[in-house]
Structure formats: C-alpha cells, structure tokens
Amino acid sequence: MSDLITVDLVELDLPGQDRKAATAALANRLAKEGRVTDVEGFLADVRAREEQLPTGIEGGIGIPHARSAHVTTPSLAFGRCADGVDFGASDGPADLVFLIAAPDGEGAEHMTILASLARRLVHDSFKNALRTAPTPDAVVTLIEKEVLGR
Amino acid sequence: MKLVAVTSCPTGIAHTYMAAEALEQAAEAAGHEIAVETQGAAGATALTAEQIAAADAVVFAADVDVRDKERFEGKPTVTGSVKRAINDAAGLITEAVDASKNASKHAAPASPPPARAQNVALGFGSRLRQWLMTGVSYMIPFVAAGGILIALSFVIGGAEIAVMVDGGTFQGTEYPGVASLSDLFSEAGIAGVMYKIGSLAFEMLVPILAGFIAFGMADRMGIAPGVVGGLIAVEIEAGFLGGLVAGLLAGAVTMALKQIKVPRGVSGIMPVVVIPLLSVFVVGFIMIVVAGGPIASVQSALTGWLGGLAGVNAVLLGALLGAMMGFDLGGPVNKVAYLFGTAALASSNLTVMAAVMAAGMVPPLGLALATVIRRKLFSQQERQAGEAAWLLGLSFITEGAIPFAAADPLRVIPSTVVGGAAAGATSMAVGSTLMAPHGGIWVIGLIGNPLGYLLAIVVGSAVTCGVVVAAKHVGRSPAEPSPQAEASTRQAVAA
C-alpha cells in the first residue's frame, strides 16, 4: 500500500481566507498524484460533508474530508496557512488544514490508519510540531512517526 | 469512577476518533477509567457487557444515531455532539460524573447484572427488534402515502376506480383497464391517477421493508440484496412475511460475506463487486428456488381445501376466511381468502365477499384503536402509523396493519387473526352482503344489512385491539426497553 502522505501532498503556504480555494489546492495535489480520479466529484463529496456540519475544530484545525468513489488510495494532504482559513470553528480560522480522502466502501483495514491520524489531531504536541516543521519532508516524517509509528 | 462512551459522526473517519481520543485523555487527566466504542468506518470494537455493567455513567458523543443504544438502558447518561467532546471533553466527563452521583443519590435500584447466557439471548432479541424497526420506519412513509392516495381515489372516483385502471369487472360492468399511463388522466381522471400512484407506492412496501431490515443488519451493503429479495417476495406473492424473511436473509448473508478475509489486492473490489454480486444472487436464488415453490403449492392447497368446504356452516366459514385475511395482511394466505371471496361474488354468493372485506378492514382499525387507548405500548413511529391506519382500515386497505405486524409479528399477527375471524363470523351471522370486491366504507351503499356489517367491523376491531394490548404485556422482560423509553432516549440524543 502506498504511503498515507508524501512530500508532494504537503503545502506549507496555502492560500488564505477561502475554504473552497484551500480545499481545492490540496485536492489538486491529490489528483496530481493519482490518488483522486475526479477532482470536481471529490470536492463535491467534501462539500456535502462540510455542509452537514463544518469540520473546523477549536485550536486552529480544519479537517475537510470525505469517503468518495473518486478516491483510489486513503490519503492525507496537509496544508499550513499563516493567514488562516475559516472552517467554521467557534474560535476562528484554522491554520492547519488536513484534507482526508478515503475510498468509498467498507470494512477496509486502511480505515484504521485514518482513525489513528484523527486521534493524533487532538494532541497539542502534534499540532505544535506541525506548526513549526520547517520543510514538507519534516512534516511527512513527523506524521509517519506519530501516526504509523515508524 | 468507571465510564463508557460511544462516539459517532456522519462520515466516520475523523471526528469519531478525535472525540474518542479527547474523551480518553480528559478522563485519564481527571483520574477516571473510560472505555470508548468508536462507531466509525474502521469498524467498532464493541464495549463488552461487563464493561457496560461496571460503568457508573455513559457518554454519547454522537452526531448520528448511536447503534444498539438499548445496551445502556438505565445508566446515567450524558449526551453531546462530537465537537463538544473534542473541544470540551473535560466538561462532558465532569457532567457524566455528576450524573452518576445524582443517580446514586436517588438510589436507583441497581439491577443485578443478569446471568451471562441470558444476557446474550436478550441481546439478540432486542437487536432483532431493532432490525425490524429499522425496516418498518423506512416503510411507513410508503404505507401512509400509498394507502391514503388509494383511499382518496375511492372517495373521489368511487370503488370502481380500481378496475377502471387495472381492468376487471365491477357490478357486472366489464372494464378493459388503462393500457398506457399517458392515457390514465384522460380516461380515469384524477382519481385514476391517484389510485395508480398509490398502487405503485404499495408495490414498494415489501422491497423497502426487506431492504432496510438488511440495512439495519449489514449497513449499506445490505440494501441491494434486501431490496431485490423483497421484489422477489412480491413476485412470488410471499407478502410482508416473505419480505421479513428476505430482509433478514439478506442481512445475514451480507454480514457473513463481510467477514471473509481476502488478500489486500482483492479487498478493494469486495464492496464494489463481489459482495453485491454474491449477496444478491444468493438471496435471490433462495427466494425463488427454495421459497417460491412451497408458497405456490400452499396457496393452491388452501384454495382447493376452501373449495371443498362448500357445505360448511356459514359462520364457521366466515371465521376461517377472516382469520386468513388477518394472517398475513396481503400475503399469500390473505390472497387465497380474498380470491375465494371474489370468486363467490362472481357466482352471486354475496355473504362470503362481505365477510372477507369486513375481516380485511379490521386489522388496521383494531391496531389504530390500540395505539389510541394504550399509547405507551407503541413506539412513536407505530403511533404515527396508527393515525394513517384509520383511513386505510375504513378503505379495506389491510396493508395499513403491516407496520405493526412487521415490527412485532409474534404479538400482532395473533391479534389480527382473531379479530379478523370475529369480524368474518359476525358478518356471516348477521347475514350481511356485499356487491363489490373492494372499497371499504365507501361502498356502504352496496352492502346489505349495513348496521349488522358495522357491528361486525366494530366487534372485530375491538377483539384485535384487546388481544394486541394483552399480547404486548406478555413476554416483554423488564430489560427490554419499552418503545416509549426508546423513543425518549432517541429524542434526547437528537436534542
């Protein structure tokens, strides 16, 4: 199985302000890597989830996500945004954006990886390390260490 | 203090787990033990009965319905959104601790944990009930919409509207039926259109029931085999009981297929191709090949047997036909009795048809009556179904009773059988006659001795009501949540 995240899926300088633009920028990275087959279709699925309930979490986190038929490999695209992007959290915009893409279908083991990623997201130490990671490489190493334990 | 929690969110890949982690951290920080069941896409590791029994309080952090919630019945419970759990886990934990203290202050009689074997058996019983209720809850809108449309079409267009649309004979007039839907409005008017829409909605009752029973058991993967199995149940005239079988079968087959471990490379196509293909085929094969034949032969045996009863006492025949009408509410046995009635009508024996229709009106009426006089015995959904059932019963749409019978067949079917028999026997005893094959109260002008006929319906409905109320008190152990309690916890979570 290919990795959850690679350096090509990290964007340390995400365009600010607009939720749609930020999500689309990350989705395009997924598409370029062949992890998403249809960017528009995938974004529609993400939007549908976002409309149910905004995915912003207090502490500067946005986690747009979807299980979608347009996803081939469970993937994480990570973006950092100095200006902040509003994901509907009560305490303001998010500076860490995690776009989680999961293939449609059930019972697959790879869902556990996404689950352990989600669990890490509530830890301040993890969030702070991501804020200060100097390079995409450092981000990937950090996530692999924390989420996959390697 | 010992706590348990369930987390659950719409997509099941992010918030479910974040909430679980946050609750675990907060509980640990406050010096409590907690076990969290994450009902997400990675599959839930269920809390054990021991963990739940030992817990002092329960936390639900859920934006969608918590599955199998009745396991936590009687525990002090706090409820919040998953976001609340992520942002303010410590607050939720504190509330749970307080709830537990309050509960013990009021000295709730701590029921001793039941013996393990019994516990497991109970668990299956209430899970079964929950699966059936899932199917019923998705079916009820079809019953209400279709049934009321058909009833209104009778009111507007007269009872002959059914044969005008479908073809057949009504009061000696031969109708060819409407061949093409595009001519329906011009030939049969608005009543004909309403009748057709209602009939089509009714054809979906059993497929939807079966599909969503399977959905309750095996999630989305269960819908395809369930719906297809339900369509076949309609095709082989197995009625709603056939639909229950198809739904449970489809759920079980899909659950089994999901258990199969396959190599990674193949696992991607399992949910997309393999499981749908195999489950639909297996369920369809069993329904057609294994179930279809016996049902057809039972029907023809019953028809032959009824035909041989020509000389039997009329009241007895009425009771028998009435019982058959109430047995499966539009299923194979009901059909045999109904066709016997229409055959008698064709040979100008008008009392048999009258008995059959009276008995067919009783099940929805009797159950609607029961939901009014003993509200607490029925879930909120059943009470809503009861409101529509009045009109359906008056219109001789026996299917109005299906939501009740499908949710709790062992208690409801006896009541509709006995009530139907009482109505059929009374109708025969008072010598009522009927010159139409359907129409319910709307063909009262074609009924001979209408007062006696109304008496038959009232007697039958009262009997059904009495039996179902008594039956609902039987065999429901205290551990099984009453529908009332279930409904109120559901509302609490939604709030």
Q: Name the residue ranges covered by the structural domains of chain B.
A: 2-121, 126-306, 309-494
In percent, the amount of chain B with pLDDT more than 70 equals: 90
Dihedral angle over CA of A50, A56, A57, A60, nearest 10: 160
Mean pLDDT value across residues B461-471: 96
Kindly state the tokens that stand for B262: 């396959």
Asked if A107 reaches chain B (Cβ–Cβ under 8 Å), the answer is yes
What length is written for chain B? Answer: 495
Spatial neighbors of A44 by CB under 8 A, at least 6 apart, are: none
Please say if the pLDDT value at position B322 is more than 90. Answer: yes
Mean pLDDT value across residues B470-495: 53
Nearest CA to CA, how far is B63 from chain A (Å)?
9
Mean pLDDT value across residues A46-67: 84
pLDDT digits (tens, 9 = 90+) for B28-62: 888 999 999 988 776 667 888 888 888 889 999 98
Kindly state the tokens that stand for B460: 């039958």
What pLDDT score was predicted for residue A106? Answer: 52
Beta strands in B68-150 (DSSP E): 77-80
Kindly state the tokens that stand for B454: 């109304």
Q: Are strands B447-448 and B433-434 parallel, antiparallel or unpaired?
A: antiparallel
Nearest CA to CA, how far is B482 from chain A (Å)?
32
What sign has the CA pseudo-torsion B450, B455, B458, B464?
A: negative
B68-82, B293-307, B386-400: which has the highest mean pLDDT?
B386-400
Q: In chain B, which residue's Cα lies nearest the Cα of A60?
A: B87
Please say if the pLDDT value at position B409 is more than 80. Answer: yes
Kindly state the tokens that stand for B368: 């609607």
pLDDT digits (tens, 9 = 90+) for A31-45: 999 899 999 999 998
User: What's the Cα-to-Cα distance from B84 to each of A90, B268, B307, rounded to whole Å?
Assistant: 11, 34, 68
Q: Is B362 left (phi over 0), alpha (psi -120 to 50) or beta?
A: alpha
A115–B86 C-beta distance less than 8 A: no
Which of A57, A65, A108 comes nearest B86 by C-beta? A57
Domains of chain A are 7-146 (3.40.930.10)
What pLDDT score was predicted for residue A105? Answer: 67
Q: Give backbone dihedrals phi and psi of B203, rounded to 5 degrees, phi first.
A: -65, -20
What pLDDT score was predicted for residue B125? Answer: 75
CA distance A10 to A29: 8
What sign has the CA pseudo-torsion A27, A30, A36, A38?
A: positive
Spatial neighbors of B479 by CB under 8 A, at least 6 apart, are: B73, B111, B114, B122
C-alpha closest to that of B282 among B214, B361, B376:
B214
Which of A103, A104, A111 comes nearest B42 by C-beta? A111
- Average pLDDT of chain B to the nearest whole number: 86
Please list every residue in chain A whose beta carbon sits closer than 8 Å to the beta carbon of residue B219: 106
- Average pLDDT of chain A to the nearest whole number: 85
B113-117, B161-165, B372-376, range with the lowest pLDDT: B113-117
> Cα–chain-centroid distance for residue B369?
18
Nearest CA to CA, how far is A111 from chain B (Å)?
5
Tell me how many degrees the CA angle B11-B14-B18 measures, rounded to the nearest 5.
135
pTM above 0.90, yes or no: no
DSSP-based helix, strand, coil % in chain B, nearest 5? 75, 5, 20
CA distance B123 to B70: 9
Is the complex ipTM higher than 0.90? Answer: no
Asked if A122 reaches chain B (Cβ–Cβ under 8 Å), the answer is yes
Which is more confident, B298 or B10?
B298
Please list every residue in chain A whose beta carbon sits closer than 8 Å to the beta carbon of residue B38: 115
Q: In chain A, which residue's Cα lies nearest the Cα of B22?
A: A122
C-alpha closest to that of A76 among A28, A34, A26, A38:
A26
Q: How confident is the model at residue B475 (pLDDT cuts 50, 70, 90)?
A: low
Decide: B60 and B77 in contact? Cβ < 8 Å: yes
Q: Establish whether B465 is a catalytic residue.
A: no
B189-228 burial, b for 16+ CB within 10 Å, e for fewer? bebbbbbbbbbebbebbbbbbbbbbbbbbbbebbbbbbbb
Decide: A69 and A41 in contact? Cβ < 8 Å: yes
> Cα–chain-centroid distance for residue B69?
19
Asked if B8 reaches chain A (Cβ–Cβ under 8 Å), the answer is no
What DSSP string describes B152-207?
A: HHHHHH-TTHHHHHH-EEETTEEE-----GGGHHHHHHHHHHHHHHHHHHHHTHHH
Nearest CA to CA, how far is A113 from chain B (Å)?
9
Which of A102, A105, A115 comes nearest B17 by C-beta? A115
pLDDT digits (tens, 9 = 90+) for B241-258: 999 999 999 999 999 998
User: What's the Cα-to-Cα distance from B276 to each of B148, B221, B228, B243, rounded to whole Å?
Assistant: 35, 7, 11, 19
Please say if the pLDDT value at position A17 is more than 80. Answer: no
Please say if the pLDDT value at position B117 is more than 70. Answer: no
Decide: B157 and B188 in contact? Cβ < 8 Å: yes
Hey, what CATH topology would domain B2-121 get? Rossmann fold (3.40.50)
Which of A1, A57, A123 comes nearest B87 by C-beta? A57
C-alpha closest to that of B68 among B124, B1, B149:
B124
pLDDT digits (tens, 9 = 90+) for B172-224: 788 888 888 889 999 889 999 999 999 999 999 999 999 999 998 988 889 99
Kindly state the tokens that stand for B119: 């516990």
Which is more confident, B249 or B494?
B249
> Cα–chain-centroid distance for residue B404?
6
Exposed, middle or buried: residue B439 (CB in 10 Å: 0-12, 13-18, 19+)?
buried
What pLDDT score was predicted for residue B88? Answer: 87
Spatial neighbors of B25 by CB under 8 A, at least 6 apart, are: A122, A123, B89
What pLDDT score was predicted for residue B118? Answer: 35
Please say if the pLDDT value at position A25 is more than 50. Answer: yes
Question: Beta-carbon neighbour count of residue B344 at 10 Å?
Answer: 20
What pLDDT score was predicted for residue A86? Answer: 87
Please say if the pLDDT value at position B115 is more than 80. Answer: no
CA distance B342 to B375: 37
Mean pLDDT value across residues B99-103: 82
CA distance B113 to B36: 20
Q: Is A59 left (phi over 0), alpha (psi -120 to 50) or beta?
A: left
What pLDDT score was predicted for residue B490? Answer: 40
Please say if the pLDDT value at position B470 is more than 60. Answer: yes
C-alpha closest to that of B13 among A78, A141, A55, A125:
A55
B221–A119 C-beta distance less than 8 A: no
Please list every residue in chain A whose beta carbon sits closer than 8 Å to the beta carbon of residue B9: 53
CA distance B313 to A146: 82
What pLDDT score was predicted for residue A27? Answer: 92
User: What's the Cα-to-Cα distance from A14 to each of A22, A23, A62, A80, A98, rounded to whole Å?
Assistant: 6, 9, 13, 6, 11
A116–B87 C-beta distance less than 8 A: no
User: What's the Cα-to-Cα distance from B286 to each of B251, B328, B331, B371, rounded to whole Å?
Assistant: 14, 21, 18, 36
B15–A119 C-beta distance less than 8 A: no
A58–B87 C-beta distance less than 8 A: yes
Q: How confident is the model at residue B495 (pLDDT cuts 50, 70, 90)?
A: very low
pLDDT digits (tens, 9 = 90+) for A85-134: 888 887 888 899 999 888 876 545 567 777 888 888 888 888 899 999 99
Q: Where are the alpha helices (DSSP H) in B220-312?
A: 223-235, 239-259, 264-267, 275-285, 292-307
Looking at this protein, which amino acid is placed at residue B389? Answer: A
What pLDDT score was predicted for residue B247? Answer: 96
Please list every residue in chain B whose beta carbon sits closer than 8 Å to the beta carbon of residue A118: 13-18, 21
Nearest CA to CA, how far is B276 from chain A (Å)?
12
B11–A65 C-beta distance less than 8 A: yes
Asked if B43 reaches chain A (Cβ–Cβ under 8 Å), the answer is yes
Please say if the pLDDT value at position B122 is more than 50. Answer: no
Which of A106, A109, A122 comes nearest B86 by C-beta? A122
User: What's the Cα-to-Cα distance from B111 to each of B108, B118, B362, rounded to whole Å?
Assistant: 9, 14, 41
CA distance B230 to A16: 52
